[in-house]
Each structure stands twice: as structure tokens, then as C-alpha cells.
Homo-oligomer: A and B are copies of this chain.
């Protein structure tokens, strides 16, 4: 997605060790105009797939997932990273290791919001090692729901997340695929250029 890649080049910041900071338009401050285009693009890619639900994980997955759900005409569900007192019914849970935060967290979705009738599109802001997506897939499988595909805003193609998901037989749509963050510079995969 050309507009997204341009925005990453203009407003993204490469920190050390493969970290790309896009906090001015994706992960902290959010540009609703760009984000709606992103959601629309996901919806277009899965338009013929009879998606019944878009599933993501709090917090920065919510914006792209919400617009994807809006344009697919289905509800969006976000997995929580911690339980709250008002989530006292049966939960689907999975462990997710975050390489960024170097912690394992338990993510959860109420069982009542996913069922064997669901055909799920998973949406997230980043794909790196694929651990968050793997956790969301695990929640869907526990509910007997079918995962139809994965929509990713920014893929770090130099990490093995896509391979992990494709080996599970899943269709992965990434709107910006980054080949390298070396020398403080963003280089996109040739196929997107």
C-alpha cells in the first residue's frame, strides 16, 4: 500500500535492534484517515471470504481492526492482555511472548464471542515473530472457529512471523513489508516497491 509505505518513510523512526517506531500515526497517535484506508484495504482483500468476525489484540490493533470490521460489515473483537473484574465468565486464553517487552502475557477473549460458526479475519498492526497472531489463532481454535486469514499493517519480513503463519496454511496480507531496518533506514521488500 503505497500511501502507508510513504508515511512510514516520512514519519517512521528506526531505533536500534530492528525496532521501527510509528507512534505518530499507528501505535500511539492514530491517523483516522490513513487507518480507514488500511481497514478498507483489508476488507477488499477478504471481501469474498464470508468473514463473520474481525479479531485483534489490544491496544494498537484496535484501530485497523475496527475499520476492517466496519467495511466488512461484521463485529470486531479485541483480545485483552489482562482480566478485569467484569470478565467473569468463561474465557479462552493463550500465552503470548513479547520480544519487545520481554515478557509473557496471557491474552483472553470471552468464549461467547467466538464460536464454531465463525470465519475469522485476524488483524494486527505489526507482524514480527508472529507470537501475537499465534496466540489469537489459538483462541480461535479453542472456540472451534475457522481462521480465514491474517491482515497485517506492517510486516517485518526479516523476522519469521510470516513463515510461521504460512506453514499453518494461512493467507497473510501485509500492507507494508519491510526487508530491512539496517543503518537506521527502512527498506521495503522489492515486490512492494
List residues of chain B with CB within 8 A of the CB of A31: 75
Known: A28-B113, A30-B66, A32-B69. 8 other contacts (CB 8 A): A19-B85, A30-B76, A33-B73, A36-B70, A58-B59, A59-B78, A62-B63, A86-B100
Copies of this chain per assembly = 2
Quick one: which of A2-37 are within 8 Å of B by CB? 15, 19, 21, 23-25, 27-33, 35-36
A69, B100: Cβ atoms closer than 8 Å: no
A75, B28: Cβ atoms closer than 8 Å: no
- The interface bits of chain A over 52-77 (1 if a CB of B lies within 8 angstroms of the residue's CB, else 0) are 00000011001100110110010111
List residues of chain B with CB within 8 A of the CB of A75: 25, 29-32
Q: How far is B32's CA from A69's CA once the two chains are assembled, in angstroms?
A: 7
Q: How far is B94's CA from A88's CA once the two chains are assembled, in angstroms?
A: 28
Chosen A-B contacts, 20 in total, with CB atoms closer than 8 Å, are A21-B86, A23-B113, A24-B112, A27-B86, A28-B77, A28-B110, A28-B113, A29-B77, A29-B113, A32-B70, A32-B75, A33-B70, A33-B73, A35-B66, A58-B59, A59-B80, A62-B63, A84-B100, A84-B101, A85-B102
List residues of chain B with CB within 8 A of the CB of A28: 77-78, 80, 87, 109-110, 113
CB distance from A42 to the nearest CB of B (A): 13
Q: How far is B66's CA from A30's CA once the two chains are assembled, in angstroms?
A: 8
